[in-house]
Amino acid sequence: MSKIEIRDLVKRYDDTQVLHGINIQIASGEFTVLVGPSGCGKSTTLRMVAGLESISDGEVVIGDRVVNDLRPKERGIAMVFQNYALYPSKTVYENMAFSLRLSRVPKAEIERKVREVSAILELDPLLQRKPGELSGGQRQRVAMGRAIVRDPEVFLFDEPLSNLDAKLRTQMRVEIKTLHQRLKNTIVYVTHDQVEAMTLADRIVVMRSGIIEQQGTPDEIFHNPVNTFVAGFMGSPQMNLVESSVSGGKISIGDANHPQLTAEMQLPDGAVTFGIRPDDIELLDEQSEEANNQANKQTVKISLVEPVGTEKLFHFSLGGKPFIGKADGRMQLSEGQTVNICLDMQYGYYFDAQSGERIR
């Protein structure tokens, strides 16, 4: 186990700069997830930590060593790749034993280590098979086994679950988390899937266009996004973000040419971006007296219903802007239905209309 420090990391390809001074500190044993859309630089950062990409500027420190000039094998890392990168001509056992064989570890020791790890990952019955005879999930487990056998200081995962189907992805997510709880290794994990990031990470680093937008615990990132990008990226379905205006201590949500919801809000006059998560839009029960007295109540027409099992997502328009709300899965909702909703304004977010930065 080792801490990792990434200091002012820069990556340039000829004249194009793709990473603009990344700073991340990862404590020993911490599970850090780099998340962001395609092209944000998360995989490049990981590959620079691994030594598979050269460092244009800045430093990568693993443990107490600056590893900029060290070869991948000297950095004490193991990596799990998106497409597993298992050696097709070798059996599962040989794949797992390969690095130890190259390090001239005695045969008996290799056997002991491979057996130990294969028992943890339930790979025993597969040891004599070749990667081509395994399912995606099994291959992923072998790739993890190959990494664990090396007993590295740091594990690097590069979108390891992207090639799996949704069900297997959920299952493997649990396996990876369980494994981390058991081995307590330092992990840097790259994904574009915010659900994966939220469920796995001790700490999330949200990246965009080669810079870090925000880093913190999953709770901090989800509940305290620093700007519209983080607010919109984290959460599924994503936060409703709507251009609005504040005047005389009141916020009017949406476009003034359409029916708006107006609420009291102590913000300077001007344009703001109002954000609210679908979970904080309540569908009111028509019969309840409490509902009729509810503040910030609005009557809207449902334009689309997405049943996702335990809940139903309903789309509607407010102030001429599209919104998504979340209702209980048992509720009977249909397109065209008129319903009363309430926006829980205490969970509303306000961002600068120009810069997108959070207004607190």
Partner 1 sequence: MFLLPGLLILSTLLSIPLYKVFEYSLYDNVIINPEPQFVGLDNYVEVIGDTGYWQALWNTFLFTVGSVIGHMVIGTSLAMLVNANINKRALTFFRTLLILPWIFTAVVVALNWQLLLNPFGVVNYSLEWLGFISEPLDWFGDADLAMWSLLLVSTWRGYPFIMISFLSGLQSVPKELYEAAEIDGANFLQRFWHVTLPQLKPVIYGVALLDLIWTFQLFPLVWLTTGGGPGRTTEVLSTLTYRLAFVDFEFSKASTTAVTILVISALFTILYLRNETRRK
Residue with tokens 């901090």: 220
Measured from the CB of residue 66, what is the shortest distance to partner 1 in angstroms?
A: 19
The DSSP annotation for 95-146 comes to HHHHHHHHTT--HHHHHHHHHHHHHHTT-GGGTTS-GGGS-HHHHHHHHHHH
Binder among 15, 64, 102, 289 for partner 1 (CB under 8 A):
102
Nearer to partner 1, 146 or 173 (CB): 146
- Return d(Cα 48, Cα 51) in angstroms, integer: 5
Kindly tell me which of 142 and 231 has the beta carbon lying closer to partner 1.
142
**Nearest residue to 230 (alpha-carbon basis) of 244, 218, 246:** 218
Q: Which is nearer to partner 1, 71 or 182 (CB)?
A: 71
Q: Pick from 87, 249, 354, 357: which binds partner 1 (CB under 8 A)? A: 87
Among residues 59, 65, 6, the alpha carbon closest in space to that of 32 is found at 6
Distance CA 198, CA 346 (A): 23
For residue 322, the SS3 value is strand
Q: Does 54 bind partner 1 (CB under 8 A)?
A: no
Taking every pair of Cα atoms in the chain, the longest distance, rounded to a whole number of angstroms, is 78
Judged by CB under 8 A, does residue 88 bind partner 1?
yes
Site residues (CB under 8 A) for partner 1, limited to 144-173: 146, 150
C-beta of 87 vs 347, nearer to partner 1: 87
- For partner 1, which residue of 90, 177, 297, 315 counts as binding (CB under 8 A)? 90
Candidates 12, 27, 73, 328: give the one binding partner 1 (CB under 8 A).
73
- Selected from 81, 291, 317, 344, the binder of partner 1 by CB under 8 A is 81
When binding is defined by CB under 8 A, the residue of 23, 54, 89, 178 that contacts partner 1 is 89
User: Least distance (Å) from partner 1 to the CB of residue 141?
Assistant: 16
| Number of helical H runs and strand E runs in the chain | 9, 20
Segment near partner 1 (CB under 8 A); pick from 19-27, 35-43, 56-64, 88-96: 88-96
Judge residue 36's burial from the number of C-beta atoms within 10 Å of its C-beta, 0-12 exposed, 13-18 middle, 19 or more buried. buried
Residues that bind partner 1 (CB under 8 A): 50-52, 71-73, 77-79, 81-83, 85-90, 98-99, 102-103, 146, 150
